[in-house]
Structure 1
Amino acid sequence: MVALIGCCLSPMLHAETFLQVYSQALQSDPAFLKAEANWRAQKLNLPITRAGYLPQLAVAGNAVRSYTFYAPASLSEVSDYNWNYGYSITLTQPIFDLAAWHAIKGASASVKSATATYLAAQQQLMQRTAQAYFEVLKAYETLIYTNDNKEAVWKQYLTAKRKYEAGLIAVMDMYDARSRYDFVIAQEISAKNTLSDKLENLHALTGHYYKTLNGFSIKIPLVQPNPRSVDAWTKASEAQNYSIQAQRFNVIAAMDNIKQQVEAGYPTLDLSTGFVEARAVDNQNDSTNTDAVNLGLNLTYKPIQGGLVYTSTEQARYYYAAAAAELELVHRQVVIQARNSYVGVMAMMNRVNTDRARIVSANKALVATEAGLKVGARTMLDLLNDLTTLYQAQQQLADDRYTYLTNVINLKAAAGTLKMADIMQINHWLQKKIALPSTSFVDVKASERQKQ
């Protein structure tokens, strides 16, 4: 699936849909590329280990010229010499080697652990890409609402200024509007800085900077998790989470390592066969040829190895204890993630509905305050406060909506069910093209100077 997505979208590396951004992350994110390389490297541990239990063929050859001196007092005179040639071919097949057998079993468990770790890395990339993308959209919407608030406050300031110059209101109302406008300018600077930071975070994943992205074009459906039980999601996470599966295989590999170290002191038995041909030629050109074929069993036993077996076994036991502790740590972390994400989904559903009602109420309050200001029942400060309340409610709705989606993704990742179908669904919701504004502080200052 990873290769398919990359091949389908590689011609559009600079496109802006969520699916295309995810494709860029697949091809560029260093953390994921590292996980993929580690997985491919660790998969080779099994054939490497298995090679020790497969037939071994060895070929050797030699050519030696030897000299014989019969007069030690005159070593410069060679009395005799001869040539020796030979070669051998030996085939060996291990028959009994428990240590090697458990090394193969341990390597098999390690490969399964590496595969589960790689699958977890895929889901983590989905999580990180979605979170980084949502953080950009959240920062963008915050900036938009801040700009809208700034424009609204500026209009109120101009209105207050005209009324003050006409002698209709006190100077305090004009000062309140100007003070609120300056405050919103500071918020705009902060919002631009936040958007710049979030774009950098997305760039760290994909290696690309973006001027346009896709925002939500439709109202996000609020769907309760299925099954509607936090305990059911917890059990699913315990059974299916890839990080837990990876650590379980690590524990199995650690147990096989203990057996391997214990059995390193056991005898080993090999079946070997070979062919040897040798030829000797002396200085009289007399030659002797020898051919031999052998077949036999080789028994090797090392009862004393300087304490190597004992210390290696003790070390393997500590590694097993560490792997078991790591399994429990990962298990607890996944359970916490599953439960917190489930509760977060349910809470954000309620908050999003509350935010929508809050926006309706804030709009009504603003209309009433505007009417009250005209008849003198409300002050300019009341109106400015209601404007701020409205834009804060709109911003809170955006924040809670993205938090809801993030919790849904985290819940599925904890349960090991986060798939490309979820990425495709999010991409379907994100169809509205948005142009990301400049995050330069010069633009903010220039805009402010124009309104002095």
Structure 2
Amino acid sequence: MSLWPFIKRLTPCMLLLLFMVPSGRAVEASDLLECFLKAKEHDPRYRAAYHQYKAEQTLPKQSWAQLLPQVQGSYSSMNYDYTKAPDFYENYRGESFNITLRQPLFNATKYLDLKQNKQRALSGELRLLDTKNSLMIRVSEAYFKHLHAVDNLKVLLEEEKATAENLRMVKFLSDAGEATLVDLHDAEARKAEVYFRVIDASNQAEITRQELERLVGEKIDSIAPLSGDIPIVQPAPENVQDWIEGVKEKNPIVKYYALTSDIAKDELNKQKAQHLPILDFVGLYSDRNTNNDTETAKTRYYAGGFQISMPLWTSGYTSYRVQEFRERHAQTAKEYERVLSDAIQNLRSSFLGVCTSISKVKSAQAYLTASQTALASTKIGYQSGVRTVVDVLNATSNMYKAKTELLQVRIDYVVEKLKLLYWNGKIDENALAEINGYLTGKE
């Protein structure tokens, strides 16, 4: 049974799918850097990290304030009504006004708290930087995933057009008695198979577009494609160990976990400091007045001196707190080891990914050139009678497969290069702008 009538019935659907491909209308294509800058203003994960960073910048100021003089005032006015008392007792009203000044002189807990909060402010800065860097990766992956889906759809549409031309040629030859029914069915099957791949690719292009729009926060009509001559170069330095050495010093998430371990150590010391005495200077001003028949004279006085306090017995509470934070410090140390190990392993994978992608790009370029030559030779061979229609169809399919693979490995190279910079801690907007220069019209 011929498949061609079925394909003809699908043609209206095909026309609808074509409208999903970015058209040649006068709409400026969004580039990678533009998408990232828009995502910075929209992405909830980054915005949450930004507000957390702003909040944590106030922590050192809070600690400093606790070390400065604290002034507290109080006023009370009380009416005293006797219900049972000697006859000479009369109801009266008493007033008092007090101002207390307290200046910490020695408080190890508060000084350690200041040190901790300075570290927390720095850790918030590192967390925000890592969130921004990871946003670059998320936007880049979404951008190039959508770009590959669009490019793949374009190649499939070209292949669909080529298979349609082959089908028309085979039908003509079949009507002339120069092609067999098997050749006709084979051409129809390939036409249908490519068409269904077009449907799947069109769906994938729409899904990836929506994923990118979710990050960017606005509609994306089209994106700038990769230029045909992007620089494919080995990572510099070429030794992976040189890249690994920069992880501890430059990767913000690794530095964040190292700082978290230091904060936990200070928390342990802070709990130990609960055993130490606290010394404050205390100043007091008091003004009292009692309005009754037996009242003493109105009193007003100033007082000042040193106050020392020290816990004598807490039923083991402080000791248990010390034990708790000793374990928490050990926990954060192991978490740092895990994060460092993960970062190094991911860096190794990205480094290998870049090197492998370079080889794949060269191989895919050679594959495409060879497949184009093979297709041209097969067509000549078919015209000479030494090749069959099936040979032409196979050569056509191989050529478009080579195109698709080249598109994929070029994108893989760019994404792996960005990931390598991310894990090493070198990624920033300048690095993203360099990748943005690889796009058509963005040099």
TM-score by length of 2: 0.90
Structure 2 alignment gaps of length 5 or more: 1-27
- Would the aligned equivalents of 1:238 and 1:334 in 2 still touch at CA under 8 Å? no
User: Secondary structure at 1:430's aligned position in 2?
Assistant: coil
**Alignment-derived partner of residue 157 in structure 2:** 147
- Would the aligned equivalents of 1:67 and 1:78 in 2 still touch at CA under 8 Å? no
**Alignment-derived partner of residue 55 in structure 2:** 41
Amino acid at match of 2:129: L
**Alignment-derived partner of residue 61 in structure 1:** 75
The correspondence of residues 383-398 of structure 1 with structure 2, limited to 5 A, is 383-398=392-407
Q: 1:360 aligns with which of 352, 355, 369?
A: 369
The correspondence of residues 414-425 of structure 1 with structure 2, limited to 5 A, is 414-425=423-434
In 2, distance between residues paired with 1:79 and 1:274? 31
**Alignment-derived partner of residue 440 in structure 1:** none
Cα deviation digits, residues 215-262 of structure 1 (max 9, x gap): 124511112211111000011122211111000110000000001111
Displacement of 1:79? 4.2
**Alignment-derived partner of residue 19 in structure 2:** none
**Alignment-derived partner of residue 439 in structure 1:** none
In 2, distance between residues paired with 1:69 and 1:39? 60
TM-score by length of 1: 0.88
**Alignment-derived partner of residue 114 in structure 2:** 104
Cα deviation digits, residues 255-280 of structure 1 (max 9, x gap): 00001111112211111112111112
User: Secondary structure at 1:123's aligned position in 2?
Assistant: helix
**Alignment-derived partner of residue 215 in structure 1:** 225
**Alignment-derived partner of residue 6 in structure 1:** none
In 1, distance between residues paired with 2:85 and 2:356? 104
Query: Over aligned residues, Cα RMSD in angstroms?
Result: 1.9
Cα deviation digits, residues 342-377 of structure 1 (max 9, x gap): 111111112111111111100110011111112221
Displacement of 1:143? 0.5
Q: 2:277 aligns with which of 255, 263, 267?
A: 267
- Would the aligned equivalents of 1:276 and 1:291 in 2 still touch at CA under 8 Å? yes
The correspondence of residues 5-20 of structure 1 with structure 2, limited to 5 A, is 16-20=30-34
Displacement of 1:426? 2.4
**Alignment-derived partner of residue 169 in structure 1:** 179
Q: Aligned pair in 2 of structure 1 residues 58, 19: CA closer, same or farther (>3 Å)?
A: same
**Alignment-derived partner of residue 8 in structure 1:** none
Amino acid at match of 1:382: D
**Alignment-derived partner of residue 189 in structure 1:** 199
**Alignment-derived partner of residue 313 in structure 1:** 322
**Alignment-derived partner of residue 303 in structure 1:** 312
**Alignment-derived partner of residue 449 in structure 1:** none
In 1, distance between residues paired with 2:71 and 2:312? 28
In 2, distance between residues paired with 1:318 and 1:33? 33
- Would the aligned equivalents of 1:141 and 1:398 in 2 still touch at CA under 8 Å? yes
- Would the aligned equivalents of 1:362 and 1:390 in 2 still touch at CA under 8 Å? yes
Cα deviation digits, residues 149-183 of structure 1 (max 9, x gap): 11101100110001101111111111110001111
Amino acid at match of 1:316: F
Cα deviation digits, residues 300-345 of structure 1 (max 9, x gap): 1112123220121122122112211110111011101211111111
- Would the aligned equivalents of 2:104 and 2:281 in 1 still touch at CA under 8 Å? yes
- Would the aligned equivalents of 1:238 and 1:335 in 2 still touch at CA under 8 Å? no
**Alignment-derived partner of residue 443 in structure 1:** none
- Would the aligned equivalents of 1:258 and 1:317 in 2 still touch at CA under 8 Å? yes
**Alignment-derived partner of residue 344 in structure 2:** 335
Structure 1 alignment gaps of length 5 or more: 1-13, 434-452
Displacement of 1:18? 2.2
Amino acid at match of 1:104: L
Structure 1 stretches (4+) deviating beyond 6 angstroms?
none
**Alignment-derived partner of residue 199 in structure 1:** 209
**Alignment-derived partner of residue 246 in structure 1:** 256
In 2, distance between residues paired with 1:139 and 1:78? 99
Q: 1:403 aligns with which of 412, 420, 437?
A: 412
In 2, distance between residues paired with 1:15 and 1:381? 40
Displacement of 1:71? 5.2
In 2, distance between residues paired with 1:126 and 1:138? 18
In 1, distance between residues paired with 2:403 and 2:83? 105
In 1, distance between residues paired with 2:32 and 2:84? 90
Q: 2:332 aligns with which of 317, 323, 328?
A: 323
User: Secondary structure at 1:16's aligned position in 2?
Assistant: coil
In 2, distance between residues paired with 1:208 and 1:381? 47
Q: 1:26 aligns with which of 19, 37, 40?
A: 40
- Would the aligned equivalents of 2:257 and 2:336 in 1 still touch at CA under 8 Å? yes
